[in-house]
Amino acid sequence: MTEKTFKLPDVGEGLTEAEIVQWRVKEGDTVAVNDVIVEIETAKSLVELPSPFAGTVSSILVEEGRTVEVGTPIFQVAVDAEGKAPAKKAAKTTKRNQGTAQAAEPDGPPASSLTGTGPKADAVKRRPRRSGLRASAGQPPAPSAPPAPSAPVAPSAPVAPSAPVASAAPARPEPAPVPPRQDPRSQAVAAAGAAVQDRFNQLLQRVLAKPPVRKAAKDLGINLADVPATGAGGEVTKQDLISYQAQRESEVDSADTFWTPAAGPEDTRIERIPVKGVRKATAKAMVDSAFSAPHVSIFVDVDASRTMEFVKRLKASRDFEGIKVSPLLILAKAVIWAAARNPSVNATWAGDEIHVKHFMNLGIAAATPRGLMVPNIKDAQDLSLKELALALNNLAGTARAGKTPPADMRGGTLTITNIGALGIDTGTPIINPGEVAIVAFGTIKQKPWVLDGEVIPRWITTLGGSFDHRVVDGDLSARFMADVAAILEEPALLLD
């Protein structure tokens, strides 16, 4: 039997660390090759790791919630020579060891087992297979018949008058001491008893509570050992937890009445959120971009009334039945079209070179429960309007579910951020690292607009663009934004 250790792998794009989110197995479980063992969170996405070994999970080395570096051992699997789990062999060995124990007394109470269960408790209740087989060290031999009466006194030996006469029920003789035997089977039983003792000690030290109560205490930041238990057998109940939390909040409220500024790091009203995963990666990328690429931003107001009419017609079309269509689809097509007319906005600054890319991996900034993510649509320039709509729907759904694969996060060339979905008019976006341009799409709403000398209500939006001034000059950025605005004002230009 051998121990196989699994180390945290690099799941893509040179990531150096990941957080252990959830273990799908526990110690003692039997797994096969490619069974999902653990779910991890990288700076890019959630990833399920399969087991490369078949066997029994012998040790989980990293608890949930910890962030570890790539190459760190995270779990171990015990396998036999053929790579199979040794569960059956271990069960047979345990059964053979249990069969060597005997009962301590036929008519008396059985030898105590600390928990009343387990291999030792079972062993002391079982009759020996042979009458000559002795119990483990420290246990007297089990008599098979009532003890014989004491030997009679010889006639020639006078009995003193004061000597007591033997009673009718002879006293039980003291058993002769049995020297300890170096029996491997007895040693195995003793070892099993020691294991039961250790486990029992651990149970005594652990606070009793059901899993939902433990989770609620963890979420509230409460140590269960501090909660007075009223449940049966000393168990902390949900009501105990609620009462303790209410008392703790009342103490905080009363302390606020006489609050002084010297709260310090122990102020319970300050929530401390560890920076890790997507948030950590986003923070680093934004700082690197903001302080390495000289940003220049420009804005343009656009009459998107015809875009709104076009979107309405697409929604009513049978070709787009069941497909979510929004103005973002038209903007995405406009950005692809405008980048083809102004190729240098679809590039990368490489120090001594500028790499202009004649393909479009269109990134869409998506707000997810795990933070900001920017997956991209590969070769978006080759997609029809319907194919682009399907790709946008799939990208958004996958990102919100936290299931974006690392491959979809790599290789973006130009990004769109839709801040209008939150009712924001415009903003100054930060360029995604490795790119030189980003377009912010503001909300579309009716405003008074001058058209042919008359003030009439029109659907107006504001576009904001940020550009790396090392690559994109002011003239080029203005022409690019004007081309994007032209498509939103007249989507029919896409037919050219």
Active site residues: 469
Nearest residue to 106 (alpha-carbon basis) of 74, 147, 78: 147
The continuous run of DSSP H or E covering 299 comes out as strand 295-303
For 15, the token pair is 């990531």
Q: How far is CA 192 from the centre of its chain?
A: 35
Question: Tell me, what DSSP letter sits at residue 471?
Answer: T
For 208, the token pair is 């009793």
Nearest residue to 344 (alpha-carbon basis) of 216, 471, 482, 463: 471
- 456: exposed, middle or buried (C-beta count within 10 Å: 0-12, 13-18, 19+)? exposed
Q: Residue 404: CB partners within 8 Å, gap ≥ 6? A: 44, 45, 373, 375, 395, 398
- Bridge-partner residues for 59, per DSSP? 76
Question: Do 331 and 485 contact (CB within 8 A), yes or no?
Answer: no
Cα angle, residue 391 at apex, residues 390 and 395 outer, rounded to 5°: 120
**Owner of token pair 């109560």:** 213
Q: At what angle do helices 327-341 and 474-489 cross, to 10 degrees?
A: 140
Nearest residue to 49 (alpha-carbon basis) of 15, 5, 8, 85: 8
Q: Residue 16: CB partners within 8 Å, gap ≥ 6? A: 10, 69, 70
Q: At what angle do helices 327-341 and 305-316 cross, to 10 degrees?
A: 120
Q: How crowded is residue 365: how many other Cβ atoms within 10 Å of its Cβ?
A: 18
Q: Rounded to an integer, what distance in angstroms lies between the CA atom of residue 402 and that of residue 414?
A: 22
**Owner of token pair 């609050």:** 259
Q: Is the dihedral of CA 352, 356, 361, 367 positive or negative?
A: positive
Distances (CA, A) of 256 to 33, 263, 265, 271: 57, 11, 16, 17
The two beta strands, 67-69 and 36-41, are unpaired
Q: Rounded to an integer, what distance in angstroms lies between the CA atom of residue 433 and that of residue 411?
A: 10
Question: Do 307 and 492 contact (CB within 8 A), yes or no?
Answer: no
For 192, the token pair is 């099993």
Q: Rounded to an integer, what distance in angstroms lies between the CA atom of residue 335 and that of residue 484?
A: 6
